[in-house]
Amino acid sequence: MASSEESATKKLDLQKVMDRIAEASKQVVSGVEAGTVENWVTIYIMGRAYQVPADLTILTAMEYAGYKFVRGVGCRQGFCGACATLYRKEGEYKLQAGMACQTRVEDGMYLVQIPFTPAEKPSYDIAELDYDVNTLFEYYPELARCVSCNTCTKACPQDLEVMDYVQAGIKGDFGDLAEESFDCIQCGLCAIRCPSEIVQYNVAQLGRRLYGRYDSPEPEHLTNRLEEIDEGKFEQALDEITSLGREELEKMYAEREREQE
């Protein structure tokens, strides 16, 4: 009985979260009067045609069409990799890949639904792994099948040189692998398109972990900050922040000091 009540509570909490997200997005996807929209486009969602304003992203266009997201969407700003999508343009055979929160709709665009991306990841203890290229092949033997077709690079919405960092890993150059894959958001589009069934983003993650543990010097500022934490320098500030209410936290966030770009 308790388990059933806990499950119902979790579902209710999730619904509240999604309602808050929908409310926050309302200014983008609602309140648009037809007379104020200069350009409209027709898109197809699951085979059905919808007319939407021409300047919307795929994500907001689907919401404008009446769809409510409960999964497959996260930060809405292109950083989390949750909204990877495929689409086809009218009259074209080729599938295009992109992030739904970044890609603008075009007239005659057909949206393709993706149930999931290949994400099988082996379990390992980084402290027990050898800092050697054989470790990559041990956990990802499909690397040996890479044909350097560059399909993964073409699919990347971050414009990363995916094939290059995969080849760096194959050669045992963990530093180059870590550098080239650093901006990966793990959306999975490279793995979807790979004919050799390589999960490039998981390979890169293992490579970065190995490089970080065994070959990357610990930054001096990190050491200093850890010492400050151990000394309790931030405990008072943390206590003050955790005692604030929602409105006070929002005000503090809005007035925070921002780093200059």
Query: pLDDT tens across 97-137, in order?
Result: 888 988 999 999 998 766 667 677 889 999 999 999 999 99
| Residues 227 and 203 grouped into a single domain | no
Give the pLDDT confidence score for residue 257 in this predicted structure.
84
Q: Which residues contact 83 (CB under 8 A, 6 or more apart)?
A: 59, 72, 73, 74, 76, 99, 100, 101, 187
| Average pLDDT value for residue range 79-92 | 86
| Average pLDDT value for residue range 58-62 | 91
22-36, 93-107, 227-241, 245-259: which has the highest mean pLDDT?
227-241
| Residues 55 and 74 grouped into a single domain | yes
Give the pLDDT confidence score for residue 217 in this predicted structure.
81
CA max distance for the chain: 65
| Residues 131 and 96 grouped into a single domain | no
Cα→Cα distances 133→15, 46, 126, 211, Å = 45, 44, 14, 11
| Residues 179 and 224 grouped into a single domain | no
Q: Which residue has the higher pLDDT, 28 or 161?
A: 161
| Residues 11 and 104 grouped into a single domain | yes
Helices (H), the chain: 2-24, 26-29, 58-64, 133-139, 151-155, 162-170, 174-180, 189-193, 200-214, 220-230, 235-242, 246-254
| Average pLDDT value for residue range 235-251 | 92
Strand order in the sheet with 109-112: 48-53, 40-45, 109-112, 84-88, 95-99
150 token code pair: 């560059």
Average pLDDT of every residue of the chain: 85
Q: Say which DSSP state 104 is in.
A: B
CATH at 67: 3.10.20.30
Give the pLDDT confidence score for residue 10 in this predicted structure.
63
Q: Which residues contact 40 (CB under 8 A, 6 or more apart)?
A: 51, 52, 53, 54
Name the helix (H) or strand (E) containing 52: strand 48-53
Query: pTM of this prediction?
Result: 0.66
Give the pLDDT confidence score for residue 34 in this predicted structure.
62
Give the pLDDT confidence score for residue 109 in this predicted structure.
94
Give the pLDDT confidence score for residue 85 in this predicted structure.
86
Residue 157's pLDDT band (cuts 50, 70, 90): confident
| Average pLDDT value for residue range 6-22 | 62
Q: Establish if 155 belongs to a structural domain.
A: yes
Give the pLDDT confidence score for residue 98 in this predicted structure.
87
CA 247 to chain centre: 29
Domain limits at 246?
Answer: 220-254
| Residues 24 and 80 grouped into a single domain | yes
Give the pLDDT confidence score for residue 113 in this predicted structure.
67
| Residues 154 and 57 grouped into a single domain | no
Residue 80's pLDDT band (cuts 50, 70, 90): confident
- The span from the CA of 132 to the CA of 161, in Å, is 22
| Average pLDDT value for residue range 191-217 | 93
Pick from 66, 86, 112: which residue ends a domain? 112
| Residues 230 and 181 grouped into a single domain | no
